[in-house]
Amino acid sequence: MIFNRNVLKKIWKEQQALVTGGASGIGLAIAKKLHSLGVKVVLCDLDSKKLEAARGAVGENARTLCMDVTNLNTVETAVGKFINQMGPIDILVNSAGITGVTNVKSHEVDPANVDLVFRVNFFGSFNTARAVLPGMLRQNYGRILHIASIAGKEGNAGMMAYSASKAAVIAMTKVQGKELAETGITVNSLAPAVIRTSMVEAMPPAQVTYMTDKIPMKRCGTLEEIADMAAFIISPEASFTTGFTFDLSGGRATS
């Protein structure tokens, strides 16, 4: 479906977007971009203080939803209550994620850390999608964007838990995209290479160097670049692509 510019602006302003991991980094950057387009933004994170600060950075009319995305019961209850009070979620951006312990060989990784990374990165995205999809199906429209990683396609040495969890996110994207292809709902993922965020800054320098050296452009991506691409993927105009993983890798990805 093709929209002219004025109609598109109206559609954006009628939509509500839930952005997980919205208190910082990629999630906050995407939330700011959507807010600038007129979308009603709902910031979701676990830290209430950071959420309130992020709300101020996005705009006074931004809303917040403090919840633990790893707990399905919590997510379904919180999202259900929010929708009853504030209306449907038209857009879901799953940006909540952690790297876990890095720069460690896979046979030396603590299984508890692997479990934690999967609970945040994969199950967090699964839980929130599960909570918003019934409403999207009722209105025959929706946009879901899972933030994956180039590591989920190629694997990063020293990042077994993170790479495997993001590979699972990519596989989930393909499944959901196929299942929902005739419903007016698109489900896609975005696989960036290194984006300079606080999460990346907290990683061992050797791990960051290893990842950056793989990028032909020899630089990290910016938050502005990922926000701009995300806005396109979840726009009303992007109606004929689903189950796909977009790259933002500075030339690293070749498939």
Which element (helix H / strand E) includes 44?
A: strand 40-45
Q: Are 235 and 199 in contact (CB under 8 A)?
A: no
Helix (H) or strand (E) holding 129: helix 124-139
- Asked if residue 250 belongs to a domain, the reply is no
Q: Is residue 247 part of a domain?
A: no
| Residue 255, domain member (yes or no) | no
Q: 24 in a domain, yes or no?
A: yes
Angle at 29 between CA 23 and CA 126, to 5 degrees: 65
Query: CA 93, 99, 101 angle in degrees (round to 5)?
Result: 160
Secondary structure element (H or E) that encloses residue 7, with its range = helix 5-13
How high is the pLDDT of residue 198? 67
pLDDT at 195: 73
Nearest to 199 by CA among 117, 87, 76: 117
Is residue 235 in some structural domain? yes
How is residue 147 written in tokens?
A: 């933030």
For tokens 């993001």, the residue is 166
Report the pLDDT value the prediction gives residue 216, as an integer from 0 to 100.
Answer: 75
Catalytic residue chosen out of the listed positions 122, 126, 162, 246? 162
pLDDT digits over 145-158, tens only? 999 999 999 888 89
CATH number at residue 125: 3.40.50.720
Structural domain of 188: 5-241
The reply to whether 248 falls in a domain is: no
Question: What is the spatial order of strands in the sheet that 245-248 belongs to?
Answer: 63-66, 40-45, 16-20, 91-94, 142-147, 185-192, 245-248
- Is 210 annotated as catalytic? no
| Residues of the chain scoring pLDDT < 70 | 1-10, 196-203, 207-208, 211, 218, 249-255
User: Quick check: is 254 in a domain?
Assistant: no
Residue 9 confidence (pLDDT): 55
Provide the domain count of the chain.
1
> In the prediction, which pLDDT does 235 show?
94
Residue 61 token pair: 């009319």
Looking at the domain assignment, is residue 37 inside a domain?
yes
